[in-house]
Structure 1
């Protein structure tokens, strides 16, 4: 036996391994391509993507997945193979098929990379479990509930405008200061600052109040800051707030961005790659971001549950929810769903707000037209914050918002779905069971047959001119079908109030009108900054 072991070690010397390991890697990727179990070999796409998930993994890690996949569609056509078992379909008519109610398609293993505390309504892949969770959660986003949340939204928009007014007054005197990320300065009678951090402060404080019962205090501090427990596990195991007293301050927005990029990059890799890849330095940092972000929810929920209150917010409504058997969510599940609300309710709103302000600042004629609608419909009295009833009668505001969401969909990538038993036919192409399909929002939002030849231009008027049926079928900012964003009504009302209130009060220009809005994509497509010049409008 000893002799055999020695012989084995001699055989597995370094020179042998340098041959064997690469050969195995090649075979692992080449054999599935040759066998072609899903019949995808004839679909065009990047050469490496036909053999390995590494191509999509590399593209995702570099932060521009949607743009790169869109270029592949422009090169190869509507059906593009972006991984050995993944076909991207850039056709508006495919939306209603791939994401349809009752088609049996499930979320792919991509979503496993987004699980931290436990599976939530966003990343659960089991149909029955998703139905159970959605039944508990959907009632909190009913129209009645959304109306109940409006005062909190308006309160923080008011705080935001108070801060900008204060800085505008200082800027008018030619002062500058270090407040907020990137600082601010007064020049040419305007306040100059990066509006992205401020959009983050606003959205985090709103969702902190709605989801956890208290804001993070970012608006007042003008700082990316949140508290997390030193020992999240201890907080989860204790049902009081004592364990949450040991806290550290973290940059929550930065952590959220890191978590999104990590999960996105990890999600496109095969399951058997993930334990290996997690050992690389960049992925280790991302894994830490996942754990740190979960700590925010763990501590906030622990503190809230330790202090009974009759306050109406998302967390209280989550606690009241019951499944078909009359059972509420357990504490761990409640915390996981609260974390989902934090991520979905903060990042998407701040990204969208920043993108909308960018396009309005860059397109002065559009801003002037929006100012006119706001003045005519809301009056010129010095009322700081618009309300829900007022924004309902602002069609041009909606067009401005929707046009920005078309160009800058925060969720721009194609959300992957697994073809169910029996296969699925999409636009004349049959795909067998277990094939992964997706429809990229970034690409269908640039379909010239729907939006016109000027798809890259920000032009809200197209929402009144183009074929409305085609637009409604193609526009996909919140996804469609049974897994569509459950909070879309609240999200859109929030953006309406924010944009109406800011644009009614201020005139905004870009620091560099010729500079495109730079972005980086994790799971969501985020602006990297937007420097603008702000001044109070003369009529107010």
Structure 2
């Protein structure tokens, strides 16, 4: 007590001194070798600059600003360097470099790690081998009926919406929620055995079970997923806040932590319903879907995943298959319409002519065989993915080699976190030319070596998106079907995005009507 009384008058001075030393000592000792790299002043001492950008949902924009101000190699955290160079993809993400995922990913773990958030290389190799068969060409082909049945329900709803005005008029709608409903229903069908029913209800709602066998409640899954991505990305950069997040006065953290639990509860409820039915012998005919493949998967020792691990992997697919697909679909949709508005007659007439020639009259939903080889459709999708960059952030990796690693003339010691920001390299004029911000699908007719290397929509190396073949099929079916069946007019000047783990359009207002001439 005497000591406390003695120190009390000095606490106001001691606390800032302690905080200053906490950040300054590592700057001058452990991370002294990074001092030569330019970057925002606060980022030299802590992750607070980057964490606040993540809190605002604009991490991709903050990092892009930093590169445009400071150059190709920029320090964006106390031990984190961002490399805005397509050659950095090979250095940071390639097979055999020994890098580990950063501690950032621990904020995305709920109970059991999945293939996305495990940091252990051996564990990742085991998990990836167990689920790889779920994404083989044969398996992906068997998923198509589940996709098209949901797209058919979606088309029925769009028909209803577009019929609310006279045939020659456009009905205004916000397309973003409808892309989200469709993506959630498709991944629900693939990963859990049944759609969530969002398309049919026209509503963001699904069942949640916080613990196996616990009570069922309902939650807005799209909203939950958005909050989860935002708070996990922020807490991944500011790990000291994680134990206290739900107690912080900022509702962003309290609601975000609740969203993490609710999102896991969605997977628990859906997996439990499917597996419980199978154990009771009332599951009916075996489905060719992701959950079946996950349950069947075996590791090198012949061991299958337990229910918790199956749930963790199903949750991974739920997030990847709903969030990234809905965001990418909406963004590609917007950019096609934007390109047509910027240069009337240059995009949509060409796209619709290609689709009309490939899809038989009267067909409401395109089959994959009808659209997978359409060159202009593919160029439109690739250009939309370049401009929007759903996976926009630089995925952080830790240098593990004792001798460090060198990129060009820059040497990074063991323990440095490196990343390559996809959004920035997709928007570099030196790579893509002076029309880098324009929607130009025909730029893909004659790509340079640098452009081929820089295009990075699904990440790179052993941690690249395992489900990218499913994603491409889904994108081609949805975008092909919607532009074949409907005419649109764009009602907003700019696509504004908000970033959690992936970059999401806030809204996309359009006018819609049926193309009666093709039916």
Instruction: With the length of structure 2 as denominator, give the TM-score of the two structures.
Output: 0.95
Aligned position for 2:76: 82
Say how many residue pairs are matched: 504
* Mapped contact 1:158–1:385 kept (Cα < 8 A): yes
* Mapped contact 2:491–2:511 kept (Cα < 8 A): yes
Instruction: With the length of structure 1 as denominator, give the TM-score of the two structures.
Output: 0.91
Unaligned segments of structure 2, at least 5 residues? 341-345
* Mapped contact 2:397–2:418 kept (Cα < 8 A): yes
Aligned position for 1:19: 13
| 1:427 equivalent among 408, 418, 436 | 408
Aligned position for 1:315: 291
Task: Find the residue that maps to 2:94 and give its secondary structure.
Answer: coil
Aligned position for 1:333: 309
1:255-294 aligned within 5 A: 255-269=224-238, 271-281=239-249, 282-294=252-264
TM-superposed CA distance for 1:248, in Å, is: 1.5
TM-superposed CA distance for 1:16, in Å, is: 2.2
Q: Does 1:302 align with 2:272?
A: yes
Task: Find the residue that maps to 2:33 and give its secondary structure.
Answer: coil
TM-superposed CA distance for 1:465, in Å, is: 3.1
Tell me the alpha carbon deviations over residues 214-250 of structure 1, each in whole angstroms, 9 at most, x when there is no partner. 1110011000000112xx23x1xxxxxxx35x32111
Tell me the alpha carbon deviations over residues 465-503 of structure 1, each in whole angstroms, 9 at most, x when there is no partner. 332x33321110000000000000001100100000000
| 2:153 equivalent among 156, 159, 162 | 159
Change (3 A) 1:393 1:272: closer
TM-superposed CA distance for 1:393, in Å, is: 2.1
Task: Find the residue that maps to 1:456 and give its secondary structure.
Answer: coil
* Mapped contact 1:199–1:350 kept (Cα < 8 A): yes
Aligned position for 1:47: 41
| 1:450 equivalent among 410, 414, 431 | 431
TM-superposed CA distance for 1:61, in Å, is: 0.6
TM-superposed CA distance for 1:403, in Å, is: 0.5
Q: Does 1:524 align with 2:493?
A: no
| 1:201 equivalent among 181, 192, 205 | 181
Tell me the alpha carbon deviations over residues 505-524 of structure 1, each in whole angstroms, 9 at most, x when there is no partner. 11111113xx2101101111
Q: Does 1:118 align with 2:112?
A: yes
1:378-527 aligned within 5 A: 378-379=359-360, 381-421=361-401, 422-467=403-448, 469-512=449-492, 515-527=493-505
Task: Find the residue that maps to 2:162 and give its secondary structure.
Answer: helix
Aligned position for 1:176: none
Q: Does 1:189 align with 2:155?
A: no
Q: Give the Cα–Cα distance (whole angstroms) in 2 for the partners of residues 478 and 17 of structure 1.
A: 50
Unaligned segments of structure 1, at least 5 residues? 1-5, 174-187, 236-242
Change (3 A) 1:168 1:267: same
| 1:60 equivalent among 54, 62, 71 | 54
Q: Give the Cα–Cα distance (whole angstroms) in 1 for the partners of residues 258 and 7 of structure 2.
A: 36
CA RMSD in angstroms, aligned pairs only: 1.3
Q: Give the Cα–Cα distance (whole angstroms) in 2 for the partners of residues 172 and 341 of structure 1.
A: 41
TM-superposed CA distance for 1:67, in Å, is: 1.1
TM-superposed CA distance for 1:36, in Å, is: 4.6
TM-superposed CA distance for 1:38, in Å, is: 5.5
Aligned position for 2:217: 248
Tell me the alpha carbon deviations over residues 304-348 of structure 1, each in whole angstroms, 9 at most, x when there is no partner. 111123122101110000000000001111111111110010001
TM-superposed CA distance for 1:386, in Å, is: 0.8
Q: Give the Cα–Cα distance (whole angstroms) in 1 for the partners of residues 268 and 450 of structure 2.
A: 43
Segment drifting more, 255-264 vs 364-373: 364-373
Aligned position for 1:3: none
Q: Give the Cα–Cα distance (whole angstroms) in 2 for the partners of residues 416 and 359 of structure 1.
A: 28
Q: Give the Cα–Cα distance (whole angstroms) in 1 for the partners of residues 419 and 128 of structure 2.
A: 22
Aligned position for 1:132: 126
* Mapped contact 1:321–1:328 kept (Cα < 8 A): yes
Q: Give the Cα–Cα distance (whole angstroms) in 2 for the partners of residues 140 and 65 of structure 1.
A: 33
Aligned position for 2:320: 344
TM-superposed CA distance for 1:52, in Å, is: 1.5
Tell me the alpha carbon deviations over residues 124-182 of structure 1, each in whole angstroms, 9 at most, x when there is no partner. 00000000000001110011100000011111111111111122222227xxxxxxxxx
Tell me the alpha carbon deviations over residues 183-209 of structure 1, each in whole angstroms, 9 at most, x when there is no partner. xxxxx7112100000001100000001
Q: Give the Cα–Cα distance (whole angstroms) in 1 for the partners of residues 61 and 397 of structure 2.
A: 20
Task: Find the residue that maps to 1:461 and give its secondary structure.
Answer: helix
Q: Give the Cα–Cα distance (whole angstroms) in 2 for the partners of residues 458 and 510 of structure 1.
A: 15
Change (3 A) 1:278 1:248: closer
TM-superposed CA distance for 1:447, in Å, is: 2.0
Q: Give the Cα–Cα distance (whole angstroms) in 1 for the partners of residues 143 and 240 of structure 2.
A: 44
Aligned position for 1:539: 518
